[in-house]
Amino acid sequence: MATPVRCLLSGDGPQAAAFGSHRRDMPCGHCLNDDYPMDYSQVIKDIGEIINWYHKTKLPLPDVLMDQYRALTTLLCSYATYAADIKDEYNVKYFMRKIGMLREQQNLIKTGLAVNKAEIESLLATEDQFNLEQAAEAEAYRVDLFLRQANKVADCMRSHLSLIKKEIENENN
């Protein structure tokens, strides 16, 4: 079950001062009220919209770029929580399969089956658990890959902001 969240950029709450004002004209789906659970499909969509915006914008204004960077990093924090939940789910399925397979193997050995044969039979008996584990592992890798790539875009945006700041400082000198 997803936990309720409060938008860090909404302008209300103690975190608002640290993150500045929120631009409602920018792609943003993370502004949820306290009673609404996080919709990770919307977070993924919003991250994609910001990445697309950054890709298509040739010379973004510094304020707009900063707002988008803040929104992206905030969304990535939420998405990282989701990635951790997916990894936990995979770990649970992995250990449930291992435990199930070992129990089945022990039961087969107790019935007098050879150890090698019991190992093979227990693997076949836990095929459904194995398939669930493989699906969870694939999802965990997919989520982790998306998180890593989105973090690279955030790093690029941060570097771009730093470059703009240096250019402004050079113009003022």
pLDDT at residue 29 is higher than 70: no
Which whole number is the average pLDDT over 132-152?
A: 95
Query: What is d(CA 92, CA 113) in angstroms, rounded to the nearest whole number?
Result: 29
Reading the block at residue 140, the tokens are 């965990």
pLDDT at 97: 94
The residues that bridge with 4 in the sheet, in sequence order, are: 37
Return the residue matching tokens 């914008």.
57
In angstroms, the CA 54 to CA 66 distance is: 11
Q: Are the C-beta atoms of residues 56 and 21 closer than 8 Å to each other? A: no
Whole-Å CA distances, 161 to 11, 18, 34, 64, 66: 23, 18, 32, 10, 7
- Of the pLDDT bands very low, low, confident and very high (cuts 50, 70, 90), residue 59 is confident
Distance between CA atoms of 105 and 128, rounded to whole angstroms? 16
Question: Which residue, 83, 62, 23, 24, is CA-closest to 166?
Answer: 62
Two structure tokens written together for 154: 């955030």
Cα pseudo-dihedral 53, 56, 59, 65, rounded to 10: 10
Q: Token pair of 6, please?
A: 């409060």
The pLDDT confidence band at residue 62, using thresholds 50, 70 and 90, is confident
pLDDT-derived band at 133, boundaries 50, 70, 90: very high
Q: Are 51 and 153 in contact (CB under 8 A)?
A: yes
Quick one: pLDDT band at residue 38, thresholds 50, 70, 90? low
Judge if pTM exceeds 0.95: no
pLDDT of 13 > 90? The answer is no
Distance CA 74, CA 151 (A): 11
* 52 vs 17: which has the higher pLDDT: 52
**Residue 40 confidence class, pLDDT cut points 50, 70, 90:** confident
Q: How high is the mean pLDDT of the chain?
A: 80
Residue 28 has a pLDDT of: 40
Encoded tokens for 146: 């998306």
pLDDT of residue 26: 38
The CA radius of gyration of the chain, in Å to the nearest whole number, is: 24
Q: Is the pLDDT of residue 37 over 80?
A: no
CB 64 within 8 A of CB 90: no
The mean pLDDT value for 132-145 works out to 95
